[in-house]
Amino acid sequence: MRLKTLTAAFALPLVGLQASPAPAQQTAATAPTSPPRFGAPLGLPRDGDKLYIPDEKFPEVPRPAGWEAYSDIDGVRAKQVAGEITAIARKSRDDGNQFWGRITGTVYDHMTQDWVEAQFRQIGLSDVRRQPLKMEPLWYPESWSVSASADGAALSLKSAFPILDTVGTTKAGLTAEAVWLGLGTDADFVGRDVRGKAVFLYSIATPGGRAHSANWNGAIKRAVNAGAGMVFVVMGFPGDAITEPQSGATSVPAFTVSSDEGDAVRAALGAGRKVSVHVTADIGKREGLTTGNVWGVLPGATDESILIMAHTDSFFEGALDNASGIAMMLELARHYARTPQSERKRTLVFLTTPAHHQSFVGIEWVRNNYDFSKTAFIMNCEHPSQTMMYLLDAGVMTANTVSARRWYINGSPALNDKITGTLRDYGVSLYAQPERRPGGELYFIFHKAPSFHVLDHVIYHSTIDTLDMVPASGITAVGRAYASIIDQVNGMNLAELRPAQVPAAAPALSEVSH
């Protein structure tokens, strides 16, 4: 495989070789030996005009036998509805918040709950209710500023974003000389004195969101343990994206920066220039915050139930994560609201939970207090549809198809076969292997009853995560498959659904992988 034309799934280790060459290779790295095959390398979101693909350009959703029963489930409508959710996040930004999105405990979190409650009532769900929840003090960066210079000339670091749970600075801030440590492996640190320095690390998206090499290879921790004064993680999404990958519980300030701005720092250092970085960050805890779960019910013909859930909070716009999941869940609610109660074998319980990215208080209440004794099945609606992306030349390329999802099923072999077969029939691509344990909101309760989800996880937790990257066809396909699965589940009794051995509960929350 030639490095200059990588065309595998979005995150590949080989890209690290291109992004952080050895010192002797730096000049060659900035002057390719052959021109890019597809013109100037593209990045997101800056080149969205060239990379966003209209919904009508995507292939039609497959129509397997029986699809007509679910033809009312419409990804185009769901995407329009999702736009109302992402608008709440943009209001957070437009109101002047640096830490923006549908952040748990904020007014924008409560606006989202108001919106969901209104949707449930409009659709005709019964027993619609808000469940208020108190929160523990919430890590919250009130404001921050990062500036840099190369031999006195300004370098932009406007994309710098504090990694969740990192520490702040005094009002005077911190100043440090920058050093480049590549991927931050043990080999990169050999012979390097980083004490008091601003350590820049390149992190490979694997495939993105929270999963990146500087986290799982220990680079951030390695830099802190070596005495770094501050840490900057250059996230490997080509372009100018701002990211919040979490996992930043550090004793020194830790930030992400975009690939564009990180490359500029690397180029300056590679040219022998002295780069200085200054950081001020007001980061603390907000106390006395509240949030809430929102519930709604479609009664069925029996006292058994199916729990259908989606989380509501987000960093940034959160179109994939999780406006698309909420909107898809509402499509399911509309579909089954049209069905007479006598034809709904089991009661459908719809739930939105907050605090998925911080605190976990919503789903924790469900785990600890909800009565699962009559729950036949749990279905999680989370990140259903994302445009496929490839690393190409020194940039990124999109394609008019929906990317494959990670997936998890807790249930009998018969249930597993029904779910995977239905997903295949509706054109929902899956990874070759399922998750060992589910991530996402299902992580907390997957062991409570037979359960299932599909989940995409590349662009989330970044400013790439807008509706421009959420194909309506993917929402349609997953939504129709989910409805078909619900109907097939309703043809099975509890014993037929349950696995031979109930899986163990998830470990400590500190090990959560969303």
Tens of pLDDT, residues 363-416: 999 999 999 999 999 999 999 999 999 999 899 999 999 999 999 999 999 999
Please name the amino acid found at residue 50.
Answer: K
CA distance 68 to 403: 25
Q: Is the pLDDT of residue 30 over 70?
A: no
* 3-class secondary-structure state, position 143: strand
**Level-2 CATH architecture, domain 139-284:** 3-Layer(bba) Sandwich (3.50)
Q: What pLDDT score was predicted for residue 18?
A: 40
N- to C-terminal Cα separation, the chain: 31
| 214-225 exposure pattern, b = at least 16 Cβ within 10 A, e = fewer | bbebebbbbbbe
Cis peptide before 499 (omega within 30 of 0): no
Tens of pLDDT, residues 462-478: 999 999 999 999 999 99
Q: For 48-137+288-511, which CATH superfamily applies?
A: Zn peptidases (3.40.630.10)
CA distance 247 to 391: 25
| In the chain, domain spans | 48-137+288-511, 139-284
Paired with 174 in beta bridges are 279
Q: Is the pLDDT of residue 510 over 70?
A: no
Which of the four pLDDT bands, split at 50, 70 and 90, describes residue 210?
A: confident
- The DSSP secondary structure of 483-509, one letter per residue, reads HHHHHHHTTS-HHHHS-SSPPPPP--G
Q: Is the pLDDT of residue 103 over 60?
A: yes
Tokens found for residue 202: 């390149």
Which of the four pLDDT bands, split at 50, 70 and 90, describes residue 33?
A: low
Q: In terms of Cα–Cα distance, which of 198, 217, 211, 201 is closest to 278? A: 198
Q: What pLDDT score was predicted for residue 507?
A: 78
Tens of pLDDT, residues 285-304: 999 999 999 999 999 999 99
Which of the four pLDDT bands, split at 50, 70 and 90, describes residue 58?
A: very high
Q: What pLDDT score was predicted for residue 37?
A: 83
Tens of pLDDT, residues 105-158: 999 999 999 999 999 999 999 999 999 999 999 999 999 999 999 999 999 999
In the 8-state DSSP scheme, what is residue 226? T
Q: Is the pLDDT of residue 2 over 80?
A: no
Which of the four pLDDT bands, split at 50, 70 and 90, describes residue 28?
A: very low
The enclosing H or E element of 341 equals: none
| 162-171 exposure pattern, b = at least 16 Cβ within 10 A, e = fewer | bbbebbbbee
Q: Which of 7 and 99 is assigned the larger pLDDT?
A: 99
Answer yes or no: are the C-beta atoms of 348 and 298 closer than 8 Å.
yes
CA distance 210 to 483: 29
Mean pLDDT of 348-369: 95
Q: In terms of Cα–Cα distance, which of 390, 377, 332 is closest to 498? A: 377
**Vertex 259: Cα angle to 256 and 265 (nearest 5):** 85
* pTM, two decimal places: 0.93
Please name the amino acid found at residue 201.
Answer: L
Q: What pLDDT score was predicted for residue 442?
A: 97
Which of the four pLDDT bands, split at 50, 70 and 90, describes residue 220?
A: very high
Which of the four pLDDT bands, split at 50, 70 and 90, describes residue 31?
A: low
Residue 171: partners with Cβ closer than 8 Å, 6 or more residues away: 280, 282
